[in-house]
Amino acid sequence: MKRSFGLLACLLTVIISLLGCTGTTSQNTVPLLLEYNNEEQTSYVKALWAPEKGTVEIGKDPVLSYPNNDKQVVALHWEGPDSVTVFTREATSNLAQIQTNGVEINVVSLAKSLPIYYDPMVAYTTNEAIYAAGVGAAATTISKITATGMQQYQVANGTFLGLGAMDDKIYVLVGKHQPYVPPETGTIPGPSIMSIILDVLNPDGTMTVKTVTDNYDASILTLAELDIPFADGCFYLDSLRLDVTSTEPKLVEVTSITKGLKTVGTATKLEPFTFYEETTFPSYTKYRDYLVAVGQTVGPNELTIAAFKDDELAGFALITPYSWLRPIPEQLKTTKVYTYDAHGKQLNSYAINTPDSVVVPMTP
């Protein structure tokens, strides 16, 4: 009897140990939502990626899908891999056409606040509001749109660069070009210098203006439309980070992120960019312990997903070949995702259907 009890105790210890390991493992994964679009519907398939191990588990069925021919869905906000807020023009909070599979859905109707003629250029979302930026010749109109109303603000002290929201405040990053200074020689062009300004829109409608720098080299900001990413209270301009909560916000170079992206760029034999105009800033999302970058970092035929922990590269994945044409060309509708460790060593590869985009949810 004592022997049997001892065996049972050992068995329980093993089970508890295994459960503990499973919990730890789940903390070391990043959920990826693979978005697919066709003429009839938009759908999302969940994949669990372990950056350090280089494993990817891809679901067989969509966790969310909805028809896209009526354009009633305005935006989505993923808070964790199993919870999503759907902003819609519909006057109901119960949309039968939205199909879910294991995902908790919250429908926010904007029928009372979003004019039928207004197609917002969504720059940022929370689980209660969408934030849009209407960029004009003389000013940018910032709109906060909720189920109960729409608040609008005018930002006229620079060109719109990016937008984020946190703790009831809206943070708008703008750039103001300095007067052009002719080069000292006739052969070397002068640099394009820009002042970076942070406009803080307070809940009472007032604006606090903070000059970040008067000496930013804007020669790389060549795209017609910019949306510098905002995550976890910070804007990210390549390897530069701007903490909006600082009393005197400054652009700070995160050298470890620079080093990590260099590892990504040198790990393969992919053809690098010829012109910077082919790319833009990667998006950044904070998911638990990871800061995850998604975008083009190597060349025009790949999509990078890089995870940083404590600003150090933890692992990355490349989807290649990848096309940015929409609809995706027939010959590129299937591809592979290659996973790598923090040193650029390839770990695994998986065949997948080419997604239109990859979404990383925010920390639940």
Q: According to the model, what pLDDT value does residue 117 have?
A: 87
Output the CA torsion 237→242→248→252 (10° steps).
Answer: -80
Does pLDDT of 2 surpass 60? no
Instruction: Return the minimum-mean-pLDDT range out of 75-89, 96-110, 176-190, 300-314.
Output: 176-190
Measuring CA to CA, which residue among 159, 163, 169, 157 is closest to residue 121?
163
The residue-averaged pLDDT of 193-212 equals 94
Least confident of 11-20, 145-154, 173-182: 11-20
- Nearest Cα to Cα of residue 299 among 276, 325, 315, 332: 276
Name which residue leads in pLDDT, 298 or 163: 163
Structure tokens belonging to residue 276: 């910077």
What is the chain's mean pLDDT, rounded? 86
Which one is predicted more confidently, 280 or 88?
Answer: 88
Specify the pLDDT at position 174.
Answer: 94
Tokens 């995550």 — which residue? 231
Per-residue pLDDT, averaged over 333-345, amounts to: 97
- Max Cα–Cα distance, the chain, nearest Å: 96
Average pLDDT in the 87-105 region?
84
pLDDT in tens, 16-63: 333 333 333 467 999 999 999 988 899 999 999 999 999 999 999 999
Higher-pLDDT residue of 60 and 272 is 60
Mean pLDDT of 61-71: 86
Mean pLDDT, range 151-163, rounded to an integer: 94
Q: What value does the mean pLDDT take over residues 255-284?
A: 81
Residue 22: predicted pLDDT: 35
The C-alpha atoms of residue 87 and residue 108 are separated, in whole angstroms, by 5
The Cα 69–Cα 83 span in angstroms is 24
**Averaged pLDDT, 324-340:** 95
Residues 6+ apart with CB under 8 A from 272: 265, 298, 299
Predicted confidence at residue 26, as pLDDT, reads: 64
Question: Higher pLDDT residue, 288 or 273?
Answer: 288
pLDDT of residue 39: 85
Chain length of the chain: 364
What is the reported pLDDT for 277?
A: 45
Rounded CA-CA distance 261/256 in Å is 9
Tell me which of 217 and 240 has the higher pLDDT.
240
Least trusted range by pLDDT, from 64-78, 82-96, 270-284, 348-362:
270-284
**Given this model, what pLDDT does residue 276 score?**
46
